[in-house]
């Protein structure tokens, strides 16, 4: 068992997402020993995952090695390991390779894709939560066109070049828009035997409109822009079954597609279900106004895993800005306690607005009563996402890539890295 070897308190942080990294960056150096644990060795900028999935960016553009972020912090130890259990009574974190004892624990483990009780659908409709997911989608999309170029059966070509995105939230809208641009504007110069502009992209949304948290006018703008990109938008369309290469809707409509992507919901990390603590309907930990767990004040939960109504009575959304703010606040809470200072006032979420991009020079942006669409909103989206990227090299790389794509209508990451993907695209799916 590994324990703290100094008199300073030991803080274990699980998860190097926005919340976990924000906590470590804002916690005063030298006040405690921090161990940051993540199963990956990089911090991922999830909001741009869809651009990796559609060959806009490379994985390295949106990921920064954790050790690089904290290479100047002698009090921060980074461990690449997977947490399998937590013993709250004895204050121990159990991992695959070791066990850690802690004085304080910060849970920043994020969320996973939710299939609303149909986990078997994951076999046919992958989510988009990590780099592996994004690369799998990219490989599948690009391989579908390569297979279609070699195919002589029109029906098979139609199925190969049909893509279904389930979920009309920001991720689904951005992904569907990117697929529409990819098929209509980018790939049409690459293939000679097939017309990629005839590819079909479906966006399936169970709610009456896209982007439900946004104002109705922005939802309608997003729908119109997607239609202009050739996306077949279906609202009030509930998915009842997902099988090999097909999606069935409540009205009996069956869509045959080689690629199905699930962006319809998220739920808390399964690890928290082992803790025996109160959870909300999405499997997130219910936390107190200071982000501590009831009955366990030494444990704080931040980011997507925390279900919190802030001091002003607002439900804190599971978005990157909220995770960053919760990370900073949690650092203040523990800093005050370790220094013997009064605790900070309860957490208040500062809503910096919501935004989503729908394609080239098209986006929606909402900040309070301020609503913008089009090029101005798109530029705002670019600025905000560049500012949030960790690492100067990533900012330069992504900005350069965006400028290049805007001028040339070309993408530079159209590389298939898993040739066996073609096995998933045959007439008879492997069982």
Per-residue buried b or exposed e for 412-423, using 16+ beta carbons within 10 Å of the residue's own CB: ebbebeeeebbe
Task: Determine contact, residues 99/92, Cβ cutoff 8 Å.
Answer: yes
Mark residue 279 as left, alpha or beta (left: phi above 0; alpha: psi -120 to 50; beta: remaining). beta
Among residues 249, 276, 277, 254, the alpha carbon closest in space to that of 264 is found at 249
Q: Which class for 430: exposed (0-12), middle (13-18), buried (19 or more C-beta within 10 A)? A: exposed
Token readout for 246 is 């097909």
- Identify the residue whose tokens are 């919190």: 308
Contacts of residue 426, defined as CB under 8 A and 6 or more positions apart, other chains included, come to none
Q: For residue 22, how many other CB atoms are within 10 A of its CB?
A: 23
As a dihedral over the C-alpha atoms of residue 147, residue 151, residue 154, residue 155, rounded to 10 degrees, the angle is: -60
- Residues annotated as part of the active site: 174
What is the token pair recorded at 381?
A: 């989206």
33 in Cβ contact with 76 (< 8 Å)? no
* Residue 40: other Cβ atoms inside 10 A: 16
Q: Which residues contact 139 (CB under 8 A, 6 or more apart)?
A: 416, 417, 418, 421
DSSP-assigned letter for residue 207: S
- Phi then psi dihedrals of residue 42, to 5 deg: -135, 155
Phi, psi of 227 (to 5 degrees): -60, -40
User: What whole-number distance in Å separates Cα of residue 387 and Cα of residue 70?
Assistant: 19
| Backbone Cα Rg of the chain | 22
Beta-carbon-side half-sphere exposure of residue 174 (alpha carbons within 13 Å): 22
How many residues in the chain?
A: 431
């Amino acid at each position: 068992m590994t324990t703290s070897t100094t008199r300073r308190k030991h803080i274990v942080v699980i998860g190097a997402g926005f919340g976990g990294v924000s906590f470590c960056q804002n916690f005063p150096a030298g006040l405690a020993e921090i161990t940051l644990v993540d199963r990956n060795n990089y911090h991922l900028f999830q909001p741009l995952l869809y651009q990796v999935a559609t060959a806009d960016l490379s994985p390295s553009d949106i990921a920064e090695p954790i050790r690089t972020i904290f290479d100047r912090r002698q009090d921060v130890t980074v461990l690449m390991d997977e947490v399998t259990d937590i013993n709250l009574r004895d204050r121990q974190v159990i991992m695959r390779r070791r066990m850690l004892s802690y004085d304080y624990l910060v849970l920043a483990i994020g969320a996973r894709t939710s299939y609303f009780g149909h986990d078997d659908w994951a076999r046919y409709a992958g989510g988009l939560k990590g780099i592996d997911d994004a690369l799998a989608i990219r490989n599948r999309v690009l391989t579908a066109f390569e297979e279609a170029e070699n195919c002589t059966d029109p029906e098979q070509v139609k199925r190969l070049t049909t893509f279904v995105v389930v979920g009309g939230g920001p991720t689904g809208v951005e992904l569907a828009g990117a697929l529409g641009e990819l098929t209509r504007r980018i790939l049409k110069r690459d293939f000679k035997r097939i017309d990629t502009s005839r590819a079909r992209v479906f966006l399936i949304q169970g709610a009456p409109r896209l982007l439900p948290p946004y104002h109705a006018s922005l939802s309608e703008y997003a729908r119109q822009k997607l239609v202009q990109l050739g996306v077949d938008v279906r609202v009030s369309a509930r998915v009842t079954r997902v099988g090999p290469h097909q999606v069935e809707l409540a009205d009996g409509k069956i869509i045959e597609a080689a690629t199905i992507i699930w962006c319809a919901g998220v739920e808390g990390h399964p690890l928290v279900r082992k803790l025996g603590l109160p959870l909300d309907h999405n499997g997130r930990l219910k936390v107190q106004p200071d982000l501590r767990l009831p009955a366990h004040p030494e444990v704080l939960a931040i980011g997507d895993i925390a279900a919190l109504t802030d001091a002003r009575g607002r439900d804190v959304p599971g978005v990157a800005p909220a995770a960053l703010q919760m990370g900073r606040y949690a650092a203040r809470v523990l800093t005050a306690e370790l220094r013997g200072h009064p605790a900070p006032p309860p957490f208040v979420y500062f809503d910096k607005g919501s935004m989503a991009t729908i394609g080239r020079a098209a986006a929606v942006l909402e900040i309070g009563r301020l609503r913008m669409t089009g090029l101005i909103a798109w530029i705002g989206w670019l600025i905000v996402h560049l500012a949030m990227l960790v690492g100067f090299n990533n900012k330069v790389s992504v900005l350069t890539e965006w400028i290049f794509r805007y001028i040339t209508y070309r993408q530079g990451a159209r590389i298939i890295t898993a040739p066996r993907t073609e096995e998933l695209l045959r007439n008879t799916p492997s069982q």
